[in-house]
Each structure stands twice: as structure tokens, then as C-alpha cells.
Amino acid sequence: MGTKLIIDTDPGVDDAFAIALAALSEDVDLLGVTTVFGNVPLSATTRNALRLLALCGRGDVPVAAGAERPLVYPHPHRGTYAHGADGLSGRAEVLPQPGRELEPVDAVSLLVSLLEAAEEPVTIAPIGPLTNIALLLAAHPGIREKIDRLVIMGGGLDHGNTTAAAEFNIWSDPEAARRVLVEEHVPCVLVPMDLTHRCAVDADWLAKLAASGSVGAALNGLTPDYVEYYKKALGFAGIAMHDAVAVAEAIRPGILRTEELPVEVECSFGPSRGATVVDRRRPALRAKMNQDAPAVAVAVDTDLDGLRGFVLDRIAGGQS
């Protein structure tokens, strides 16, 4: 069996693509899904996760709900402007009913039990705010050795999306993001929006997805609000499938090209709150300036068409 994977998510239209990518990939052992507030409130992200796994025929995958708000300060607003009021363009009700009950334990407890039971280190793909991951590492520091790596969708090197400076997942809980990216020394891959925007897919790709089978058709049916938002954000009729790019790296290590770079997270309350400050100065200068923050593998490039084809082929190929 290939990658042992846990996804921490706030579905979310692009989360839906990411969950389907993992759930329909035969070489992925999807151990569990944990949910977090983010695009929409926790109750909605949790319901959406259960129904998306039912859509993919994965009633075998346990789901546990986690943080309903950030670690320290309130969540200023949701991502409904892009994902619709229910997180899935108002179409969540079209999805199948959940194939199983929500786990009776919280997300951190499920993460701990799955990691402790795993015979080898597990990949975790956080594709929403990092609150659950910060809580996991703070409450169970010994669990680090059971984590192979965190493959995180988040951050922006040159600019943000929720604000001029900050990308939504980091902006939603900067304190949690800083704990994970700067203080915890767990192997991290950070997949920033600079790259995920370059991986955007167009109407032709979405049409192929829709024609690929029942799951592809359902996923495409979740996109109308998201397409409307990305027409403005990208300037063409397509979408940025941010989270699917991160999960592609989680399940196909090396599909993204990364650079080891120090990352800081702005936690002040100025205009840059939630910004990821990535130090791209040359190493010799960084050393001279005594820059000793831990390096993060920041995803900087990929074969764009190869990535788009990988996601489409995996989702299409995984449908019975």
C-alpha cells in the first residue's frame, strides 16, 4: 500500500476536489479525515466532509470534528464569498447522505489514535486553518515521531487572497500557523497560493471532470459559486484547486518542486496579519544575518499540465 494519509479540512469546494483525489486513489491509505472551521462553520465543514466521502464510496473512512474557532482571536469572517453559504456553492444537499456517523471523539483524539496505531509514520495534509494541528502538537509532543510530514496548503509568497498580505488558511489562525511552521520542527511542505494559482484549471478541464463519471459530475456541480469568484480572481472562467495541489504532493511526493526556506508568520494586528514571510535571500546572507528559523520545504514550481492531468486522471480513474 502507498501513502498513509490523514486530511484535515474545511470543505470548501477545492477541499472537495482534494478529498476525492485521495479517496479515489488506490495507492492511498486514507486513514481518516478531521474537520476544522474555515470556509464555513465547523458544523458545515463536518457535514460536507461526511457527504463527500459518501459520494466517493468511502464510508470506511472515519471523520472527527475539531476546532470551531481559532486558538486565540475570533475568526473575522468566512470564505462563503467563494464557496457559497454551505461551503459547496449551495449544492451540499445534492450530495449523498453520510455513509457513517461522525466519530464520538474530537479531531485531535482521532489524530492521536490513528497516528499511534500506524505501523509507519503518516502524512497529514492540512488544507484549512492549522488550529487542529497546532493543538495536536501542543497537547501530544511525542506524536511528532509518528508524523512523516505535514503537506500544508497555505500562505502566499508575493501576496494574499483574503487580504493583500495573507492567504485564507494562515489568515484564519495566524497563531496556530506560526506554532506549526516556526516552532514545532515537524517536516513541513508549504504549498502557497502563488503555485496553486498557477495550477488553476479552465472550463475545458472542468468539462472533462464532469464527463469522467458520477463523482466528477457531482464535483463539477459544486463549482458555480467558486467559478464566479475565480473569474474575478483569475480573470478567466476557471478555478484554483488549491487543496488538490497540496494533496497531489502528499500522495505523489516530488510532484511539486520545493525549496528549503525559512518561514515566519506575521501575528501582529497590522495590515500584514497572517502574512507568511518567506526568506528567499541567498543562504550565505541568511547565515550572516543569523537567520536560524527552521526551514520549510516551500513548493515553488511544478509541471502545470502534468499536475492538472494527475488530478483529473486519479479522480476519473477511481470511479467505478
Q: Where on the chain is the footprint of ligand RIB (CB under 6 A)?
A: 10, 12, 14-15, 38-39, 79, 127-128, 153, 161, 167-169, 193, 242-243
Residue 32 touches which member of ligand RIB, Ca ion, none, C-beta under 5-8 Å by kind:
none
The option from ligand RIB, Ca ion, none interacting with 167 (CB < 5 to 8 A, set by class) reads ligand RIB
Which of 33, 127, 180, 245 is the binder for Ca ion (CB under 5 A)? 127
If one asks whether residue 157 binds Ca ion (CB under 5 A), the answer comes out as no
Q: Using the rule CB under 5 A, is 154 a contact of Ca ion?
A: no
Nearer to ligand RIB, 112 or 176 (CB): 176
Tally of CB atoms within 10 A around 131: 31
CB nearest ligand RIB: which residue? 168
Nearer Cβ to ligand RIB (32/154)? 154
79 makes contact, choosing from Ca ion, ligand RIB, none, with CB < 5 to 8 Å by partner type, with ligand RIB
- Residues 237-256 touching Ca ion, rule: CB under 5 A, are 243
Which of 8, 13, 15, 220 touches Ca ion (CB under 5 A)?
Answer: 15
**Dihedral-angle region of residue 18 (phi above 0 means left; psi in -120 to 50 means alpha; beta otherwise):** alpha
Q: Which of 70, 128, 129, 160 binds Ca ion (CB under 5 A)?
A: 128
Least gap, CB of 127 to ligand RIB (angstroms): 5
Nearer to Ca ion, 240 or 265 (CB): 240
28 or 153: CB nearest Ca ion: 153
Residues labelled catalytic: 242
State in angstroms the smallest separation of the CB of 11 from ligand RIB: 8
3-state secondary structure the chain: CCEEEEEEECCCHHHHHHHHHHHCCCCEEEEEEEECCCCCCHHHHHHHHHHHHHHCCCCCCCEEECCCCCCCCCCCCCCHHHHCCCCCCCCHHHCCCCCCCCCCCCHHHHHHHHHHHCCCCEEEEECCCCHHHHHHHHHCHHHHHHEEEEEEECCCCCCCCCCCCCCHHHHHCHHHHHHHHHHCCCCEEEECHHHHHHCCEEHHHHHHHHCCCHHHHHHHHCCHHHHHHHHHHHCCCEECCHHHHHHHHHHCCCCEEEEEEEEEECCCCCCCCCCEEECCCCHHHHHHCCCCCCEEEEEEEECHHHHHHHHHHHHHHCCC
Q: Which does 238 bind (CB under 5 to 8 A by kind): ligand RIB, Ca ion, none?
A: none
- Minimum distance, C-beta of residue 311 to Ca ion, in the bound complex (Å): 15
Chain contacts with Ca ion (rule: CB under 5 A): 10, 12, 15, 127-128, 243
